[in-house]
Amino acid sequence: MKQAVILAAGEGQRLRPFTVTRPKAMISIADKPILQFIIESLAKVGIRNIVLVVGYRKEQVFDYFGSGEKLGVNLTYVTQARQLGTAHALLQAKDIVKDEFLVLPGDNLIEASTIAAFAEIKPAAVLVKRVDNPVRYGVVNAQRGKVTGIIEKPQQAGSNLVNTGIYSFTREVFDHMENVLDIPDVLNNMLNEGFSMKAVETAGTWLDVIYPWDVIDLNSAILQNVEAGLGGTIEDGVIVKGKVVVGEGTVIHAGSCIYGPVVIGKGCDIGPLVCVMPSTTIGDNVVLASFTQIKNSVIGDDVNIGPSCFISDSVIDSGCVIKGRFTALAGTSEVRVDGETPTINVGVIMGEGCKIESSVTCQPGVIVGNYCQVQNMKLINTRLPDHSLVI
């Protein structure tokens, strides 16, 4: 298997506010887009001929990855002008792919070792995984290692095996795509016609991003495998423990504590007397002022966080300016997204470009849209749409 198709055309409406300004495959985790981790995993196992199916805000993918040369791969782009479904997306690559190829979603984390093992399986095959909450996914019914059917988001799951969206195909799959928009429907039609399809189970890491708070879990998983590297300037009196990555040009001032796994990007100004706790990613050009503590969170590029803030289990997108004594504590909350109301344990989800004045508190599970402004001493206990003003 020497070729792969990555489906990266989708917007990801349930991931708003983050996908208002970027495709979901370009959401940054551990200071890289999700899509980059997938491409790097393919390259590690020798699959370097990659077709990217792009669509929503596709220019961001072009600008970031280019030809793929920097990652040691050859990227070919095809466009899905309207995001009608996964089968429709794959169909756009029909004239490019060779006889055998892998198909992967552009917004999932998958280990290189899992891809390597799956690539050895002769098509057709579906990579499946056992999960605790199968009703979120397409449930795969299988007998003796053969797929018998796929049911998308059933109310009651008869199996805890789910479809990862990772497939091994031959070009024969294109013969069954007429008037079918999604790959699971194509597979069910093929099964009904007597085709045989393997169900290959993996115990390796596979995580997808469906909701904004999934970014936190994905970030934590990726950070477990980072390799420590201290760039920039770390002043005397700084405590660094565990696996910590510090980018070039970053200054960590005296009295600060960094407990890995943590990734801190380039050009940051941290402290003095700042505490960054495990499972935290801080982007490029971020300022963290004195007596601030960040825990199990993702902070985007160009964020400025004032003194005496406490942020836990949260995602703060790029370009936000947060004044002093801001509090975002994690707690159990029900959040309504796209008609679904999952119960989660999360702090705040904040879109890009927000301006938050002093002494603001966000209750657990609050989603703050892009470019919101919140005045001093406010308690935010409900979702704020993009461009909201709280006075």
Q: Averaged over 332-351, what is the pLDDT?
A: 78
Buried b / exposed e along 302-312 (16+ C-beta atoms within 10 A)? bbbbbbbbbbb
| Whole-number Cα distances in Å, 295 to 93, 278, 298, 318 | 42, 6, 9, 17
Ranked by mean pLDDT, the top range of 20-29, 130-139, 222-231, 300-309 is 300-309
| pLDDT reading at 147 higher than 90 | no
SS (H, E, C) 34-100: HHHHHHHHHHHCCCCEEEEEECCCHHHHHHHHCCCHHHCCEEEEEECCCCCCHHHHHHCCCCCCCCE
What's the pLDDT band for 339 if we cut at 50, 70, 90?
Answer: low
Give the CATH architecture of domain 3-210: Alpha-Beta Complex (3.90)
Q: Averaged over 277-281, what is the pLDDT?
A: 95
pLDDT for 166-215, tens place per residue? 999 999 999 888 888 889 889 888 888 888 889 898 888 888 888 888 89
What's the pLDDT band for 341 if we cut at 50, 70, 90?
Answer: low
The predicted model scores a pTM of 0.84
Domain boundaries, the chain: 3-210, 226-390
What does CATH list as the number for 226-390? 2.160.10.10
Adjacent-strand bridge partners of 245:
229, 263
pLDDT for 42-69, tens place per residue? 999 899 999 999 989 999 999 999 998 9
Task: Give the pair of three-digit tokens for residue 45.
Answer: 């196992």
pLDDT for 61-117, tens place per residue? 999 999 989 999 999 999 998 888 899 999 999 999 988 999 999 988 888 888 888
Q: What is the pLDDT of residue 192?
A: 86
Q: Which of 108, 20, 8 is nearest to 317 (CA)?
A: 20
Helices (H), the chain: 34-44, 58-65, 86-91, 112-119, 183-192, 214-223
